Structure 1
Amino acid sequence: MLDRVEQIELAGRSTRPASLLEALRERTKALHVTAERTGVVAELLRGRGTVAAYALLLRNLLPVYDALEAELLRHERTPVVGLIVRPELHRSAAIKADLARLNASSLPLLPQTIAYVGAIREAGAGSGHPLLAHAYTRYLGDLSGGQIIKKILARSLELPPEALSFYEFPEIADIPRFKDDYRDALEQAGAAMDEHDVVVEEAATAFQLNITLSQALLVAAGLGG
């Protein structure tokens, strides 16, 4: 017969997810589908976007990546967040290069972008562990679906490679292997912390922020009607 302490310990172990990645995937599965089927991202994926819409998307993603990368670097020496800090993933410089190539650096920022940036900065407060959710959402998406978007944009918008550096990772020789390594790092980070529920819910928030921004960009780019 288990004593009370043993019962509590077992209950704690049973409620802790065996895999942070599995919990993240399960929580965001439906949101992932929604993100692909709505907003300006959906139009780009269907080959119905415009260069102006793509440029506006980049302009509004720039402060998001600026904030995420600054917060990650601020925590790079910590035992949890430090495990997933990979400068070769950083997208800010690539986005700036693309915007310069498209002559689009002066496009407006939407209120939804400002809200997204605020959420990232809030995630970086304290331990910074919720940043794992934002890194998971953005970077694994860039390495996976982003590669598909790059091919569609090159074909449908006739964009040259110099305008698609956002989707290029010159410091990563083997993207599939890197993705496996990055997933392993996320799992290690999950094993080193206790705030699994917070991180998983932050991932849902990150997806919703992306969806809201994408929908707003669709309207701002004149593709909403």
Structure 2
Amino acid sequence: MLDRVETDHVEMAGRSTRPASLLEAMRDRTKALHVTAERTGLVAELLRGRGTVQAYALLLRNLLPVYEALEADLVGHQGTPVVGLIVRPELHRSAAIRADLAQLDATDLTVLPEAIAYVRAIREAGSGSGHPLLAHAYTRYLGDLSGGQIIKKILARSLGLQQQALSFYEFSAIGDIPQFKDEYRGALEQAGAAMAEHDAVVEEAATAFQLNIALSQALQQASGLGSRERE
């Protein structure tokens, strides 16, 4: 999430005090973190139209190893009865990020310690059963399909970026994004019903948000936007 402005995180009227599903439990656990992610760090700068091309490129460079790790670990578990339910190659972002970095001539930027910590957490999530990967897929991909589409429009308008530099937010293999999101939520629910360790996965979702927030704040500082006067 780094670029995470996920419309999924809304309170559902009339539900019981105990979440009825994995998806609902992750929503509940990350609700406050979602608000923090929108309001702090580089994500907040981008949403306010105060980003720069350099900051966007730095964001991409630091997200690249995160997506490479997530996608490698998801594919590694694609034959399993739980994680295999959510492996969707059409969501993979690594190639798109590399294309954007090449377009921006920004392939040699620094990878921050916060991105390395994020990668380490994903690798740990992918060990063993790999079930905690559900939380990272939920956080990143549903964020990209939701708030990421808002950020794409803001970047195009505020930075004058052409489509060739915004491939990260383009899902050309997905014809109907709202329908796909519904199907992906359904796959997450099905995966949740097929496993026992809900609490660990829910906490991993909180960890994923915290890692995104930490990276976003570090990127804000590294890009020089952290010293700007707040509105």
Report the TM-score when normalising by structure 2. Answer: 0.90
Residue 15 of structure 1 and its aligned partner are, at CA, apart by 11
Q: Does 1:79 align with 2:91?
A: no
* Secondary structure of the structure 2 residue equivalent to 1:58: helix
Q: Does 1:210 align with 2:212?
A: yes
Matches within 5 A, 1:191-206: 191-206=193-208
* Secondary structure of the structure 2 residue equivalent to 1:62: helix
Query: Equivalent residue for 1:5?
Result: none
Query: Equivalent residue for 2:136?
Result: 134
* Secondary structure of the structure 1 residue equivalent to 2:164: helix
Query: Equivalent residue for 1:40?
Result: 42
* 1:170 alignment partner, one of 172, 176, 190: 172
* Secondary structure of the structure 2 residue equivalent to 1:187: helix
Distance 1:16 1:47, change over 3 A: closer
Q: Provide the C-alpha distance between the structure 2 equivalents of 1:121 and 1:15, rounded to a whole number of angstroms.
A: 33
Q: Provide the C-alpha distance between the structure 1 equivalents of 2:18 and 2:216, rounded to a whole number of angstroms.
A: 33
Amino acid at match of 1:71: D
Query: Equivalent residue for 1:156?
Result: 158
Q: Provide the C-alpha distance between the structure 1 equivalents of 2:20 and 2:112, rounded to a whole number of angstroms.
A: 39
Report the TM-score when normalising by structure 1. Answer: 0.93
Residue 18 of structure 1 and its aligned partner are, at CA, apart by 2.0
Residue 46 of structure 1 and its aligned partner are, at CA, apart by 0.2
Between 16-25 and 198-207, the greater mean CA deviation after superposition: 16-25
Once the two structures are superposed, residues 9-54 of structure 1 have per-residue CA deviations (whole angstroms, 9 ceiling, x without a partner) of xxxxx99842111100000000001001000110001000000000
Gaps of 5+ in 2: 1-15
Moved over 4 A (4+): 14-17
Larger Rg computed on CA atoms: 1
Once the two structures are superposed, residues 150-206 of structure 1 have per-residue CA deviations (whole angstroms, 9 ceiling, x without a partner) of 000000000000000000000000000000000000000000000100000000000
Q: Provide the C-alpha distance between the structure 2 equivalents of 1:205 and 1:190, rounded to a whole number of angstroms.
A: 18
